[in-house]
Structure 1
């Protein structure tokens, strides 16, 4: 039997590449596996040889020690791979298929899945609706920053690329279909972006850049990206976004007015989440900052897309309320302005086919927008450290050395 190596969370600030068990079509006990999921048979699943697997900002929250993730958890929920084994109940996916794996694990059978709410599947996580690979409190499904991984419910979930050779030519773009491209797109769609819209995107990390590019694809007239990191803001400008350096300015409305002539936008997207900082030269952590600021600068009747991660357990939070996800949000302001809020994980399957076609037909250049950077599996710990320091890159792990750098 083949070996398997993976990126493993070792405790706050520490990841390592280690040997782990080769995947089977069953969920074995291990770090973070819900006891009710132990021994769960997955004859509806497949084993993938991982072609690409990406480092996500959501992974970084765990690695910083800002969640209740247990040491030993295998990381990684952004997976693209080749099918090398199929379960006996798999009918349509075949060995040799090159596929994108939605980060949401979804059964396809429950009420939520049938209504396209695959981000809150009712059958894959005994604790609460919704699940993901290699993530805290998500049922314990083994992560995919590895050489091989098991994916359940293959016929329902997997997006098969129509031509393997064509897909490998576009693999740096297509690898983004597992999470950040649909997530950024969902944020823009939830915010109501349409032709002619003015849009504010909070955060110039990979998801923020994906949201900005998505807003452009949807026809936005102006996309403004705000961040505290000059290097990431430069990346946003590289594909036509306006930017606001929030490390220098504490009044977001004034900065938007300098760009648009008015201190408000039609809609806004929060791509920061619960580790938000305040604005200005003396900024420090203030987790409700982005939510309050986008309410402030979004016009009355506007929509707010909130794909940024907010958690129910944050042991590193500033106060006892924030440790359980209770933040000081100016909800009255949002109510008075009749804002629409859309939150939660992204239902990847709702969008990934159309975004795949946009990539294959040359309409979307998401790899360029997020500065996709290919690394080896052994380079993952250094990439986590660089990403934590604000590198303006989306790290794409190539576990088998298949891609050209």
Structure 2
């Protein structure tokens, strides 16, 4: 039997490449696996040879020790690969198919899945609706920053690429379909971005850059990106965004006024989440900063898309309330301005086929927007270190050396 190697979380600030079991069509016991999921048979699943798998900011939250993730948890929920084995109950996906794997695990049979709410499937996580690969409290499905991975409910979930050679030519873009591109796009859609809209995106990490590019695809007239790191802001400017350095300026409305002639935007997107920082020099972590600031600078009756991650438990938070996910949000301001808030994980399947076609036909250039950077599996620990330092890169792991530079 073939071996398998994977990236595992080994405690705050530490990841290792380890030898792990080759996957089969049963969810086995292991770090983070929900006891009620152990032994779950997945004849509706497939084994995938991973072509690309990406490091995500959500992974980084775990690696920083800001969740209750157990040591030994295999990381990775952004997966693209080739099907090499199919379960008995798989009818439409075949060996040799090249596919994108949505990071949400969804059964396709429950009420939520039938209503396209695949991000909160009722049947894949015994603790709460919604599940994902290699993520804390998400049912314990083994992560995909590995050479091989098992994917359940294959007929329902997998997005098959029409042509393998074409897909390999566009692989650095297509690898973003498992999470980051749909997540950024969902943030823009949730914020009500439309032709002519003015848009503010909080955060110039990969999700923020994906949201900014998505806002452009949706016809925004101006996209403004705010961040604390100059290199990330430079990356946003590289594809036509206006930028605000929040380290140098603590009055966001004033900076927007200088760009637009008004201190408000039509739409705003929070691509930061619970590890947000206050604005200005020497600013410290202040998790409600982004939510409060985007309410302040979004016009009355505007919409707020919130793809940034918020958690129910944050052991590294500065105060007891934040450790339970309770933040000091100016909800009264949002109520008074009649804002619409859209939160939660992204229902990837709602968007990924359309976004695939946008990539294949040259309308979307998401790899350029997020500065996709290829690394090997053995380079993954260093990639996590670089990502944590704030570099303006989206790291794409190539476990088998199959991607042409």
TM-score range, shorter chain: over 0.9
2:61 alignment counterpart:
61
Provide Cα deviations, 1:139-181, integer angstroms capped at 9, x if missing partner.
Answer: 0000000000000000000000000000000000000000000
How many residues are treated as equivalent by the alignment? 405
1:217 alignment counterpart:
217
1:359 alignment counterpart:
359
Provide Cα deviations, 1:113-160, integer angstroms capped at 9, x if missing partner.
Answer: 000000000000000000000000000000000000000000000000
Instruction: Measure the CA separation in 2 of the matches of 1:106 and 1:388.
Output: 30
Instruction: Measure the CA separation in 2 of the matches of 1:141 and 1:377.
Output: 20
2:52 alignment counterpart:
52
1:127 alignment counterpart:
127
2:74 alignment counterpart:
74
Instruction: Measure the CA separation in 1 of the matches of 2:151 and 2:62.
Output: 22
1:320 aligns with 2:316: no
2:307 alignment counterpart:
307
Matches within 5 A, 1:112-261: 112-261=112-261
Instruction: Measure the CA separation in 1 of the matches of 2:284 and 2:200.
Output: 21
1:24 alignment counterpart:
24
Q: Secondary structure at the match of 2:73?
A: coil
Instruction: Measure the CA separation in 1 of the matches of 2:229 and 2:119.
Output: 30
1:88 alignment counterpart:
88
Provide Cα deviations, 1:9-50, integer angstroms capped at 9, x if missing partner.
Answer: 000000000000000000000000000000000000000000
Instruction: Measure the CA separation in 2 of the matches of 1:210 and 1:401.
Output: 26
Instruction: Measure the CA separation in 1 of the matches of 2:155 and 2:134.
Output: 21
Q: Secondary structure at the match of 1:17?
A: strand
Instruction: Measure the CA separation in 2 of the matches of 1:382 and 1:282.
Output: 27
Instruction: Measure the CA separation in 2 of the matches of 1:230 and 1:218.
Output: 26
With the length of structure 2 as denominator, give the TM-score of the two structures. 1.00
1:376 aligns with 2:376: yes
1:273 alignment counterpart:
273
Q: Secondary structure at the match of 2:18?
A: strand
RMSD (Å), alpha carbons: 0.3
Q: Secondary structure at the match of 2:74?
A: coil
Q: Secondary structure at the match of 1:129?
A: coil
Provide Cα deviations, 1:321-375, integer angstroms capped at 9, x if missing partner.
Answer: 0001000000000000000000000000000000000000000000000000000
Instruction: Measure the CA separation in 2 of the matches of 1:44 and 1:402.
Output: 27
1:331 aligns with 2:349: no
Instruction: Measure the CA separation in 2 of the matches of 1:53 and 1:35.
Output: 27
Provide Cα deviations, 1:49-84, integer angstroms capped at 9, x if missing partner.
Answer: 000000000000000000000000000000000000
With the length of structure 1 as denominator, give the TM-score of the two structures. 1.00
Instruction: Measure the CA separation in 1 of the matches of 2:180 and 2:49.
Output: 21
- Cα deviation for residue 306 of structure 1 reads 0.1
Instruction: Measure the CA separation in 2 of the matches of 1:288 and 1:163.
Output: 45
Instruction: Measure the CA separation in 1 of the matches of 2:353 and 2:7.
Output: 29
Provide Cα deviations, 1:279-318, integer angstroms capped at 9, x if missing partner.
Answer: 0012110000000000000000000000000000100000
Instruction: Measure the CA separation in 2 of the matches of 1:212 and 1:404.
Output: 27
Instruction: Measure the CA separation in 2 of the matches of 1:229 and 1:86.
Output: 45
Instruction: Structure 1 unaligned segments of length 5 or more: list them.
Output: none
Instruction: Measure the CA separation in 2 of the matches of 1:366 and 1:196.
Output: 21
Instruction: Measure the CA separation in 1 of the matches of 2:297 and 2:283.
Output: 19
2:294 alignment counterpart:
294
1:9 alignment counterpart:
9
Instruction: Measure the CA separation in 2 of the matches of 1:67 and 1:289.
Output: 20
- Cα deviation for residue 404 of structure 1 reads 1.6
Provide Cα deviations, 1:219-272, integer angstroms capped at 9, x if missing partner.
Answer: 000000000000000000000000000000000000000000000000100000
Instruction: Measure the CA separation in 2 of the matches of 1:254 and 1:379.
Output: 42
2:284 alignment counterpart:
284
2:37 alignment counterpart:
37
Instruction: Measure the CA separation in 2 of the matches of 1:19 and 1:33.
Output: 18
Instruction: Measure the CA separation in 2 of the matches of 1:372 and 1:340.
Output: 32
Instruction: Structure 2 unaligned segments of length 5 or more: list them.
Output: none
